[in-house]
Each structure stands twice: as C-alpha cells, then as structure tokens.
Structure 1
Amino acid sequence: MIHPFKTFQTFGLAAGLLLSATPAAVLLPAAPALAQQRQRITLEDIWAKGTFAPRSVQGFRWMRDGRYYSALEKGEVVQHDVTTGQATQTLVATQQLRLAGTDQPIATDGYEFNADEQKILFSTETEPIYRRSSKANYFVYDRAAQKLVPLSAGGKQSYATFSPDGRRVAFVRQNNLYIVDLQTMQETPVTTDGAFNKLIHGAGDWVYEEEFEVAKAFQWSPDSKQLAFISFDESRVPEYNMQEWGGLYPKDYRYKYPKAGEANSVVTVSAYDVAGGRTVKMDIGAETDQYIPRIAWTPTPGLLSIQRVNRLQNKLELLHGDAATGKTQVVWTDTDKAYVEVTDDLRYLQNGKQFITTSERDGYRHLYLFDMKGKLVKQLTQGKWEVTEFVGVDEKSGLAYYVSAEDAPQQRHLYRVDLKGKGKTRLGEAGGGTDVVNMSPDFRYYLNYHSAANEPVTVSLRTARDGKVVKVLEDNAALKQKMQDYGFTPQEFFSFKTAEGVTLNGCTIKPANMEAGKKYPVLTFLYGGPGSQKVLDKWNSVDYYTWFQLLAQQGYVVAIVDNRGTGGRGAEFKKCTYGQMGKLETIDQGEAAKYLGAQPWADKTRIGIFGWSYGGYLSALAMTKNADLYKTGISVAPVTNWRFYDSIYTERFLKKPQDNPGGYDDNSPVQHAGLLKGKLLLVHGTGDDNVHFQNSVAFTDALVKANKDFQQLYYPNRNHSIYGGNTRLHLFRQMTNFLLQNL
C-alpha cells in the first residue's frame, strides 16, 4: 500500500518526525493583526522541537495475568500496576543485562517475553530493512538464573520468536530459517538453500511485506512441535535497481520488485517437525501464479490454516491442512466482483469447532461465525456500517469485541456482541471521536486511546465488561493548553452533493477571526486511495494537522475531502473506482474545488492541492486534468504511471495491464502533462523503494516534452517517507515557501 506515514509498525507515524537539529528559524510573512495576541507556530515547533507532540502510554505490554503491564524504561524492564500506572518492580535491571566476563550492559532496543514470562528475548542494534522488516542481534535472558546469552553467533537475526513452551527460538538469517534449543543453545537450520534475490524461507519478499504486511512468514504450532513457514522463490521476479549516492561512485542496490503484470514469486508452504527434523510441503494447488498471504495454526493439533488468493484477488479460499501429510481441503471461500481484501480478522475458537472472520459479502464488512467445515453458523453483526477492526473473542463470556464506524463514517468506537449475534453494546461514553483499543489477554481490561478532531489523545484504563473508566493514565492537559496558547482553530466538518448526486464528506481548518467579505486562498489536501480516509474525527498528531494550523495563521483555509473510493462507507462506495483508478477520484476532487470556491469566504482563483503518495498521484492528475480549477499544486512521491507500481496493490484495483490497458493509461499524469497550467512542485526521494523515483522521472520528461514550467525537489537516498535529520524540516520549509509565493 502506498502510504507516506507508515513505518515498520502498522498504523504508526514515520520514524524521524521529531528531528534532532534546529536550524535557523523560517522567515514567514507577518501574521494578520487579528491573531497577533497568540503565539506563532513555526516549522521548528513541528519538525524539530516536538512542541505539539502528544503524550501517551508508551512501550505498553500486557502481562499474562492482565493486572500488570511492562515497559522498557532506560534499558530496564519495569512492571507497572495497570490500575494505577505506578511501577511495582524492576523485572530486569541494567546491571543484569551484561554478558559473562563483561562490564558493559547491552544497549537493548526491544524485548519479548516467553509464554510463562520467565525468559526474555532482547534485541540490540536493530537495523530497518524495508517498511516492516529488520534485523538485530538477539540475546536470551533467563530470569531465574539471571543469565544473559547471545541467541546466535552467526550474524544478525530477524523475527526471533519463542516457541509456546519457551524451550526454543526460531529466527531468519540470510533467507534461511533456524531453530535454537535454549537448553543446549544448539542451532539447527530448518532450511539451507536460501539466497538473496533468489529464495527466501520464513520471511516475506518485498511485495508481500509491503502489501500483505508479511515480514515474518513462519508460525510455531500451539504445542511447539511444528514450525510452519512460507518460502518465496523469487528467481523469476525482475530486479529494480536503485543507486545509493554519497561516495565517489554511486553504489547499485538491486532487489526483486514485481511491477504490475510481471512475474511474482512462486510461493510454497511447509511444516517442519521439530523432533524428527522432517519437512512436509503442504498442498496449496497446482497453480503457482497465486498468493498465500496468511498461515496460522488452529487449536486442533497438527491442523494448519492457509489462506489462498488468486492473482486477480477476487477470490479468497481458506484451506485446512494436515501438517503430517501435507493434504489440504478448501473449507470456506469468499468472492467479490471487484476484489477481496486480506485481513488479520480470522480467529479460531479454542473449542476447536468454530472460527470467526469478516467479509463484505452483504456490502459492508461484518463479523461471521462458521463451523470448521465452513458452514455459516451466524452473521454476528449487520447493518449499513463497517466493522473496521476485530479486536478478539472472550470465549469464557461468549463475547466478540470489535471497532466499528456505526455511529458515523468519520468515527470509530468499541462494541461487543455475543456469539448468537445478540446484545450488541457500545462501550465507553456516548459521543463522537475515535477510540483505539488495546485489549488485555484475559479480556478484563483495555486501554482506550480516545481522541477527536480538536481533542488530543486521552489514555484511560477501562473494564472490558462495561467500558467504565478505572483510571485516566494521560489526558494531555499540557498540550491542550498549548493549542489554546498558539491559537489553534477547530476543524469543521461538512458534506455536500456533487453534480452526480454523490454525497462527499469533508472538513476545513480556517484562519482565526475571518473577516466578513474577505476572500481567502484555499489549499485542499487529499490521499484518496482505495479504502483510505482522511476526513476523520480523530487527532492527527504532529504532522500535517499542525502544519495546516500554521498555514491557517498565514491566512489560508485548508480543506480535506474524501472522494469516492475511500473507506468507512461500504463496499459500493469504496469499490466503484475498480478498473479506473484516478478517474472518479479526480472528478470528485474537482467537484470539491468548485464547492469550496463557491463559499463566501473563498477566493476561487486561488485554490491549491497537495498530496503525498496516492495523494501525490491525484494531485498531479488534478493539476493536469482539472487544470482550470487549481492555481497551485504540490505532488510528493507520486505514482505517475500504474505500470511502474507493484503487482499486488495495482492489480487488486486495476487487473493486469495486459487485460486493462486503458485503466492504466487513461488516468496517468504522464499522459496529460501537456494540460498543466498552474504552478507545480514535484517532490521525490531517490531511495524510494516503494514508489520508485522512476515515476517522477517519467513525469518530468513528459512535462519537459510538453514545454511546461514546474519546480522540482528531490532528496538523495531518502525513502518514501522522506525523513531523517533535517529532511522533514527542509521539505516543509520548501513547501511552505512555495505556497506563500504561488497561492
């Protein structure tokens, strides 16, 4: 998925938002007299000082009894009482993290307990690879013996994972899978033929990692007797070449990247018997041009769950397989006329007789209960609203917990329902906003991270049974006061109907004390990609939102509109862009520009557009196909031709280019470069492994051929998020000055 602010953790902000250096202040024009009494927001506040960074409960890990949580604090593992937030004991002190014969403790940057919490895996010197992948040096700490030992001496490891019984650890190194026996520290290779850019065992290839969120591709069985893993034969996948700048001669970095219509990895699934050292290949069918995005063990010993998706991604099959023989059978199938999305919603009940998953088969994503043969037992939720997250099942109480957009497409709240589809209850207080939930393993408590568009995060501990507050752990009172001191103006929500009768949702951030009769320039911001949402009743932390407040202080109105194809409103609204990405989105954004330009406070001759990634693509397309509507545009890290983007994402929404050439070419900004009229700033990182710099090169070439003037800004070796050091501060200074000069 092309998203600028995902990092190696799903739904997180990109690393490097809070920069360490503080260059000279940016000189911006004087503010309107009406706002002089308020403090002025600076780019340094946002990108260097972290002035508006919200406080939260960081490093939180539930412990198995649900009464305590642990956190890594100054290199030590500290236990806290959930109900008070107070530290109760230090589980591992710094001085205990020293290897025998050494005086210096290891500098740990992460940790994981085994099931009984008597052993801990510590990671050190972690190196990111792509968005979700990394490698590190791991150490095992035995709490009873107070002993620390290296996991392996053969080089850095990836995805080190305890077996459920805590006796072994599996990991990936240099494309092979290994197991370490913690009693003897003997290391056993599960595979030996892995090789870079050829064959991977136990870890996802680039496109699986990016689009299916598969970094670790192995799973221990619940009884610790078997290890299931996915292998990726990427020998046929074409290589993409990036240059790394900085030395006398640039270095080449080549990696396997399947663009739309090109060969994917051939994927296999295997089960390794730990005691016997025997590997069995699972039968996933004769077709090799397909996807295996998920594997999981069921509660039934030796029964492996495998999800299989055809290349067109309009059919998902759930297979159950005997790990001893490799034989499988299809137990459940989900299909769609457009595409079926892969999720992490599948849950097997411990009774071994049923599973719950989600589907959009009735037009909205809902929870369904099936027996192990795939027969529908009950649709647990229903209505013209979306289940956006399946939190889990408390089998003792017979309750399923989920987050939904039932109250409004822009909101998210926690609900529960029983396994007969009855007793649906919203948990927590009534009202708007968004709730992000971290449920305890025993379903007694949950942490609730509540925020709203104009309200930073409040973290509270609540009881799962009724949602009542036990204790507020963080209320961000200091940040709320800063927002007042700096004169933040509220986001205002609106909706309007387009010429086609489609209702679109939007929001605005306006200058304080707007003058009656005065016309203000408008900057529209968008992402707009399939299933995404930007118009949300949710605090947007320290990135765009605060920059938009800065722009409002400079006299700009900032507006956001979610076009057709975005999420929260059901499958029909989301999937209507299938086969023609960019077409309806551009029409809708054009309608938004007209609607905003007609407001009494708007200067319709001064409307701009800004987006990143998919939003950068739509910004470039809007500046060309809707050239008469926009004076200025900023396109950051855009796809400019879907033929350049990866197979899984692109084909999900457009099919193969061989089968739908018009869907790829008709809405490519490259094809419409000659229509550009306004001022355009094109930005890209040369080290973007996701949306390749090739996209901006192609668009640049087309603009030059069309004899169009534009400005360009590229960042050497920066990836899709364009961050690190002063990078973000520099980028947003350039974008701010560009808008001040051209909008």
Structure 2
Amino acid sequence: MIRPIYFLLFLCIIALVFSNAYSQQNNQVTPYYPDHKEVCESYKRAEKLDTVLKKAVFKSYVIPHWQTGRNIFWYQNRLKDNNSEYILVDVAKGIKGKAFDHNKLAEALTKATGKGHNGNLLQINELDFSDDGKSLKIKEGEQWYECDLNTWTCKKIGNPDFVRYEPTRPLQRRRSRWMGPRRDSISPDKQWEAYIKDGNLFAKSLKGQEVIQFTKDGTAAKPYGEFSWSPDSKTLIAYRIDPKEEKEVHFVLSSEPGTTRGVLKSQKYAQPGDEFTTYEMYAFSMHDRKGLKIDAEKIDFFGAPELHWRKGNNRYFTYEKVDRGHQHFRVIEVDAQTGDTKNIIDEKTNTFIYEQRIYTRYLPETHEIVWITEKDGWRHIYLVDELTGKEMKQITKGNWVVRDIDSVDTKKREIWFRASGMNAGEDPYFIHYYRIGFDGNNLVSLTPERSNHSVTFSPDRSYYLDTYSQVNIPPVTLLKRTSDGKKIMEVERADVSALLASGVKLPEVFVAKGRDGKTDIWGVICRPSNMDPTRSYPVIENIYAGPQDSFVPKSFLPASEMQSMAELGFIVVQIDGMGTANRSKAFHDVCWHNLADAGLPDRILWMQAMAKKYPQADISRVGVYGTSAGGQNSTGALLFHPEFYKAAVSACRCHDNRVDKQWWNEQWMGFPVGKHYEEQSNVTNAAKLQGDLLLIVGESDMNVPPESTYRVVDALIKSNKDFDLLTIPGMGHSDGGPYGRRKKRDFFVKHLLKAEPPSRNR
C-alpha cells in the first residue's frame, strides 16, 4: 500500500516534469535573477576570459617576413604557455618547416650573449637567412649576431644592410587633405628662391642679385603665402590669405603628480560653425614678373590644396576642392596663363559626400584620373579623361561597395581593390580582394572563400597570403599565386581546441529586417557559456553608430569584452543599423542631419526579431553601452527610446554636436549649424531621461571636450534626474579603462539583474 505522502510527492514530480516539458514546448522561460554566489562565480568566469582564455587561440594569424630578393619567408607561431615556433616557407617548392633547430640556436645565443635562452621562448623580430640557408643574422636587443647553422655558433656583427619589407604597408599611400601639400621655396631649376616679406611675395635669384617683388597689397593681417612652383619653374602659385584664429577649449587636470593645484590645459579646437582661414589663388609668371588672380572661389575648407601639373605642358594644373558642408566636390583645372578655370570633376549631392573616402589617383602619362564616387548609389570606380573631364568608363558597377583601392597598375592597366557585397548569399560586409581592367573587364576574385579576408603580398606581388575567417569560424591562412589565384599550400589553420574546451560560446551571426521591412540588418549575439535554455537573460547592446564606418566584427572573435560581459548573465549584441557606412548610399544617408537617429529603429527591430526566435533574450530588460560616438548613442537610446532601453553606460562622448570637433560633425550634420543641431542634442533632451544612466568621462579628453559630458550633467541636475557619474582624473578619450569597464559591468548587474556585484573593499 502506497503511503499518501509518497503518492502526493509522486504527483508533484509528474506535474513538474509535464510543466517543464510544456514550458519548453511553448518557449516559456523564467527570468534569470542570480543569487550572490552565482554573481561571484560569473565574475570569475568573466575574469578568466579577460586573462587566460584571451590567449587560448594559437596559430591564428601569419605575419610573413619575406627575405630580400627571394620568394622565401618566415613567420612566428604563438603556442601554448607563451611558447613560440619559427616556420620557414619556400614558396617556389611549396614546402614549409621549422626555420631552425630552436634548442640549438638558444644554446648558441646563450654562449654568445652570456644570457640564458630557452628554445621554446625565443622572441625574434629581425631575422635574415643567407642565400645558401647555412647561416642567419639575428637581432638580440640592439645587437646583431651571425649564427652558423652547421656549427651552431654565433658571433657579434655590425648592423647588416637589412631592409625589412612591410607586407601590410599600402603599396600606394594617399595624403590626407588635412596634411597640406609638400612645398619647397627653391624653384625646381634651382635658379630662384621664393619668400614672404611683410606679407608680400618675393623671389630672389640664386645666381645673381635680382629680387622680384610680385605683390604690394599683402599685409601682416592678410598676407600672401603657401606658395609652390610649377615643375618647369616658370610659374609660382601663391594665395592671398585671410587668417582666422582657431579658438581654444580648456580642461583642468586635478591630480598631476607633484602639484597641489589643478593644472589648466588648453588646445586649439575648431567646433562646428567656427570661422576658417580662407585662401584666394594667384599665379605669378617668371617670364613677365606679373601676377593674376585665378578665376575661382575662395578656398574656405582644408587650406591650400595640392597641385597636379599637367605632364608635358606646365601651363595647366588641377586641384581638388571640397566645399564646406560636404555637398560639393570638384577637380578644377587652372590655366596659369589666363587664370581661367573649368571643372574636370563636379559632384554635388543633396546629402553628403564622404570626404575621407574621396579617392582620386592621377595618371600623368595618360592624362587620366581614377576616381571613386557614390553617384550611382553605390561606391564604385570610374575613369575620367583629365583633359576634357569626360567620364571614359565606369569600371565597377553593381549593388555592392568598393571599400578601397590597393594599387593601380598603369602598365597592365589594372586596378587592385577590395570590395564587399559582391557575392550573393553572404554577409555583405565581408571584404574580398579583386583586380579588374581599366575597361571594366577581366574581373578576377583573389579571395573566393565565403569569409572575411585579409591579404598581404610578396614584395614582387607574385604571391600572396590570404587569411580568412568569420566571427565563429577560426582563421585559415593560404598561400596563393597572384597570376591566377591558385592555392599553393595551406600555411596555417588556427588551433582553438583550448578555447572550446573551456566551454566558451562563440558568437552567432544574426540577420533581421530594418525599418523599411526590406533591408537586412546584420549583427552578432554573444551568450553566457552556462546559459540555461529555460531562463531568460537581459540583453545588452554594444553600440557605436558613428557614420564613418561599420563596426560589427566580421573576423574570428574568440574573446571580447562582449563575451566577458555575457558571462555575467547577459545576452550581449552588436548591430550595424542604418546610417553607418559600407552599404548603399541610401543606407548611409539616414545619418544626414540625423545623428540622434543612430539606427536605433533598426536595432530595436533586430532585437525584437532575435527575441522572437530566441525566448532566452529578455527584451523587457535591455541595456546599452558605448564609447565616443557610442556614448552619445547610448544616452540617446534612453532619451529617445525609453520604451525599449532601460539602462545605459555612456563614456566620453559629445552629447551635443556643436561642442565636438568641426570636421567630424559637419561631415554628417552639415553646415551651417542649424536648428537640428540643438533639437538632437542630449543636453537639450536631458529632461526626457527615463531608466538608469551612468556617465563616464576622462578629465583630460583631448578628442571630445569633457564639458560635453558636464553639460549633460548640468541639464540632468536641473531636470531633477537621477544618474551616476564617474570622472577619471588624468584619463583621456577612453571607455574609462579597467576601472571604468568594471564599473560598467557592476552597473548592469545591479540594474538589469537586480543583484549586488562583488564588493572589492571587503
């Protein structure tokens, strides 16, 4: 006979089993609220990921050290317990092996230097093998040694004639417009020297006593200057300058060592709407000693431009003009004899032209310009006739994006470039490498594998190393032949066994539709390693909506701050919403006059779609954090979308775009400074705050003035709002450093998990 108490217990167990089964079948989960013991354990897991597990991936990237004049390279593999190995690859033979006997070399170096060496712990930055492979030169500290690989003896030598090839260095660099052109006061024919005296332009003979005074109307207040010579020394270009003093911003360092008072620091810092120095262009002839004003608008942005003189006829030159407000870009041709001008390239837009990604490459031999523009709605390459301004060819075309040009081969008339979005069915942000003819034909994909790629070439570009991965797929490095992209050998495959053995979850890529119901929005999800599928976890978004780029990682992400935070009991996500770069022009244009938008409508829809698929994501408890532009975005999330975001941590950001640097904010918010600047300010909207907010600011931030944060603080106090503020003495533009990151984690644990973080004072 069954006792009643056991019968009741049996019924309870059956009910519990069926209840759990029903809950799982119907995706019912219970919110995760940890007790203090669970919180302490989660912090230990996060700390482990920040330290030990951060180094648990091996052989993840190959940095080749090519040997001069030979298709041979060596590289270093990082191994377990801080060990290293050095591998030598013979490209022609397609083989690889240990570069040397590590233990024997360590013994030889120990004898030569008098310092102990361990063969597994060698740290070599400079290494050069002899042509016959029987010896090598190695740098130990500041001293070079030559080591015989037969006798295993090393001797001191002087610095060898050794030039390291940098495979990651761009083959063809472009100068920033902010740098200004290169100038020389001495004429190319070494006959004249130009100079400024009392605000006027002069030239004096280097072969005699003659002095030419070209101008008389220059003054100290409005001088001539920024002069440059034509290649044939017959023309001198100079500018009448109307200088404007750049205003300063200030901050006080409270805790400088050896002081008992705060130290005032100031720096020149242009803000949106500030006046800029202007330049009027003049041409001065060495033939008749006369000058003429060029028929062109004043240059009111970036300063005096770099000049591109026509090869074979120095009567003409071109220069680039980006109008303030970023809505008009021109390549202007100047006739230095008449002062007449004409536009070779003339691009206008109703939104913005992204100045930092304007690409022009001048080909003087053929009088052509390689130009990248988004005028058809996508970023593509065009070929322009420099003599007529006629567009000769749209070289690339389609609903995808040219990310950058690596090199232009004028002899083969080929362009080597990077692009994303060309391959249907894959992440449109994956970078692939290509080459194409000037005529738009013979497109060759050098990296067809479905992943994000990073390529480095051999010195003669006959071979290249292609490392590719995805956020949750470890890197593979292949050696390929440039002529046809054929694989020669697999060089390395990352070893992630130690990481996976720890139980850490790799990120998941997730895609959902944006606000238009059509456009794919891409992001990643990081989960706790011990996530219980029957529990729901708060969601925290790592946000950075700066329009200058896209920010969701695409390459292998074994350890990150997001994963460390996830270990505390959160689902942490990162998303690229509309308004960020590297998609269509229309996708990017969402940010125009609209930085407060920050893609937040797309981000909210993305997280709602994630929660629909994964009920473990509790979007009734959503936090958000960000640094710099992300700091502005995270505070804005609470102000403009309090129905969704409940807690935010915001570090060192411009909360009012009128307070931040001119060049960044006018690029997206436009010029002149209009009412929309004020309407979108976090300062103006501070009274709307709902939810929990932690503001972090470094008192010596030279990127974004600290008063940007303090103005929000002032507005919040005046609105009688509750918030937390962390000011870090001496710190610059940062997320708060180790202490700030710890306080960020504690803040979310307290406000989203309703738990007390571990006390560091006990």
Match of 1:578 among 564, 570, 592: 592
Cα drift, residue 551 of structure 1: 2.3
Q: 1:597 and 1:657, CA in 2 relative to 1: closer, same or farther beyond 3 A?
A: farther
CA distance in 2, matches of 1:655, 1:364: 21
Change (3 A) 1:240 1:506: same
Counterpart of 1:588?
602
Aligned partner (choices 443, 447, 452) of residue 424 of structure 1? 443
Is 1:415 paired with 2:434? Answer: yes
SS at match of 2:250: strand
Q: Structure 1: any 5+ residue segments left out of the alignment?
A: 1-26, 73-79, 98-104, 115-131, 134-158, 166-197, 203-217
Of the three residues 534, 558, 563, the one matched with 1:549 is 563
CA distance in 1, matches of 2:500, 2:235: 57
* One-letter amino acid matched to 1:41: K
Alpha carbons 2:280, 2:297 under 8 Å: kept: no
1:33-90 CA deviation, whole Å, 9 max, x = no partner? xx99x997343458xx866698645597997x69578999xxxxxxx98947973368
Q: Over aligned residue pairs, what C-alpha RMSD do you find?
A: 4.9
Describe the shift of the 1:271–1:386 C-alpha distance in structure 2 as closer, same or farther (beyond 3 A): farther
Structure 1 stretch 240-249 or stretch 697-706: which is displaced more?
Answer: 240-249
SS at match of 1:609: strand
CA contact (8 A) 1:282 1:327 kept: no
Change (3 A) 1:520 1:490: same
Alignment partner, residue 527 of structure 2: 510
Q: For residue 583 of structure 2, give the secondary structure of its aligned residue in structure 1.
A: coil
Distance 1:111 1:669 in 2: 52
Task: Report what 1:703 is aligned to.
Answer: 716
| 2:128 corresponds to | 87
| 1:539 matched to 2:580 | no
CA distance, structure 1, for counterparts of residue 60 and residue 225 of structure 2: 40
Distance 1:53 1:516 in 2: 31
Question: Corresponding residue for 2:391?
Answer: 376
Residue of structure 2 equivalent to 1:362? 376
Q: Which amino acid aligns with 1:401?
A: W
Separation in 2 of the partners of 1:419 and 1:709? 61
User: Closer, same or farther in 2 for the Cα pair 1:350/1:106, shift >3 Å?
Assistant: farther
Asked whether the equivalents of residues 66 and 444 of structure 1 are also in contact (C-alpha less than 8 Å), the reply is no
Counterparts in 2 of 1:31 and 1:269: CA distance versus 1, 3 Å: farther
Aligned counterpart for 1:675 among listed residues 666, 688, 693: 688
Paired position in structure 1 for 2:470: 452
State how far apart, in whole Å, the 2-side matches of 1:441 and 1:345 are.
24
Q: Aligned to 2:506, which of 490, 500, 522?
A: 490
Aligned position for 1:168:
none
**Preserved contact between residue 81 and residue 87 of structure 1 (Cα < 8 Å):** no
Amino acid at match of 2:440: G
Helix, strand or coil for the counterpart of 2:508?
strand
Task: Indicate conservation of the 8 Å contact 1:66/1:445, yes or no.
Answer: no
Please state how far the C-alpha of 1:283 moved relative to its aligned partner. 5.3
Task: Quickly say closer, same or farther: Cα 1:620–1:220, change in 2 above 3 A.
Answer: farther
Identical pairs, percent: 24
- 1:693 aligned partner: 706
Q: In 1, distance between residues paired with 2:448 and 2:266?
A: 52
Distance in 2 (alpha carbons) for counterparts of 1:58 and 1:720: 30
Write out aligned runs for 1:51-70 (5 A).
Answer: 56=61
* Conserved? CA contact 1:687–1:719, under 8 Å: yes
Residues 531, 574 of structure 1: 8 Å contact kept = no
What TM-score, normalized by structure 1, do the two folds share?
0.68
Total equivalences in the alignment: 592
Aligned to 1:311: 324
Higher mean alpha-carbon deviation, 394-403 vs 458-467, is at 458-467
- SS of the residue corresponding to residue 651 of structure 1 reads helix
Structure 2 CA distance for partners of 1:530 and 1:40, relative to 1, 3 Å:
closer
Q: Which residue of 2 aligns with 1:249?
A: 261
* Separation of aligned partners in 1, 2:228 and 2:267: 26
Deviations 1:139-183 (A, max 9, x none): xxxxxxxxxxxxxxxxxxxx999x9x9xxxxxxxxxxxxxxxxxx
Aligned partners of 1:328, 1:426: CA distance in 2, in Å? 41
CA distance in structure 2 between the partners assigned to 1:392 and 1:250 by the alignment: 51
SS at match of 2:588: helix
Residue 341 of structure 1: CA displacement?
1.8
Q: How far apart are residue 422 of structure 1 and its match?
A: 1.1
Give the conservation status (yes or no) of the 8 Å contact 1:623–1:678. yes
Partner of 2:311: 300
Structure 1 residue 249, shift from structure 2 partner: 3.0
- 2:31 aligned partner: none
Q: Is the 8 A contact 1:66 1:442 kept in 2?
A: no
Residue 653 of structure 1 corresponds to 668
- Cα offset, 1:289, TM superposition: 2.1
Shift of 1:495: 2.2
CA displacement at 1:199 relative to structure 2: 12
Contact 1:267 1:291 in 2 (8 A): no
Please state if 1:262 is matched with 2:274. yes
2:80 — aligned with what?
none
| 3-state secondary structure, aligned to 2:566 | helix
Distance in 1, matches of 2:335 and 2:52, equals 57
CA drift of 1:227 comes to: 12
Does 2:398 correspond to 1:387? Answer: no
Matches within 5 A, 1:19-30: 29-30=39-40
Output the CA distance in 2 between the equivalents of 1:698 and 1:391. 43
SS at match of 1:623: helix
Whole-angstrom CA distance in 2 between matches of 1:601 and 1:531: 33
Distance in structure 2 (CA, Å) of the matches to 1:59 and 1:685: 39
Alpha-carbon offset, residue 359 of structure 1: 0.6
Tell me the residue number matched to 2:486: 468
Q: For residue 41 of structure 1, what is the aligned residue in structure 2? A: 48
CA contact (8 A) 1:684 1:713 kept: yes
Q: Equivalent residue for 1:136? A: none
Q: Name the structure 2 match of 1:75.
A: none
Matches of 1:227 and 1:434, distance apart in 2: 49
With over 3 angstroms needed to count, the CA separation of the structure-2 counterparts of 1:500 and 1:383, relative to structure 1, is closer
Residues 1:475 and 1:296: Cα distance change in structure 2 (over 3 Å): farther
What is the deviation of 1:361?
Answer: 0.7
Within the candidate set 437, 449, 455, 2:455 is matched to 437
Q: Is the 8 A contact 2:358 2:373 kept in 1?
A: no
- Within 2, Cα distance between the matches of 1:265 and 1:329? 24
Distance in 2, Cα, partners of 1:106 & 1:271: 52
State the one-letter code of the partner of 2:510.
F
Distance 2:283 2:477 in 1: 42
Instruction: Kindly indicate whether the alpha-carbon contact (under 8 Å) linking 1:391 and 1:439 is maintained by their aligned counterparts in 2.
Output: no
CA distance in 2, matches of 1:733, 1:28: 17
Write the letter of the residue equivalent to 1:481.
S
Assess, with a 3 A threshold, how the Cα gap between structure 1 residues 403 and 333 changes in structure 2: closer, same or farther. Answer: same
**Could you list the per-position Cα deviations for residues 399-420 of structure 1 after superposition, in whole angstroms to 9, with x for gaps in the alignment?**
2111111224221101121111
Amino acid at match of 1:517: T
List runs of 5+ in structure 2 lacking aligned partners: 1-36, 77-87, 100-126, 131-135, 146-156, 167-177, 189-221, 753-762
User: Is the contact made by 2:283 and 2:294 (CA closer than 8 Å) also made in structure 1?
Assistant: no
1:237 paired with 2:246, answer yes
| Contact 2:654–2:704 under 8 Å retained in 1 | yes
Q: Decide whether the 8 Å contact of 2:472 with 2:557 is kept in 1.
A: no
Mapped to 2, the partners of 1:444 and 1:45 lie a distance apart of 39
Instruction: For 1:602, give the aligned amino acid.
Output: A
2:651 counterpart of 1:629: no
- More displaced stretch, 552-561 vs 322-331: 322-331
Q: Once the 2 structures are TM-superposed, how far is the Cα of residue 731 of structure 1 from its aligned partner? A: 2.4
Contact between 1:292 and 1:307, CA under 8 Å: does it hold in 2? no
SS at match of 1:534: coil
Structure 1 or 2, whichever has the larger Rg, is 2
Q: d(CA) in 2 for partners of 1:615 and 1:622?
A: 10
Give the secondary structure class of the aligned counterpart of 1:519.
Answer: strand
Equivalent of 2:300, from 289, 293, 313? 289
Q: Distance in 2 between matches of 1:495 and 1:304?
A: 49
Partner amino acid, structure 2, of 1:290: F
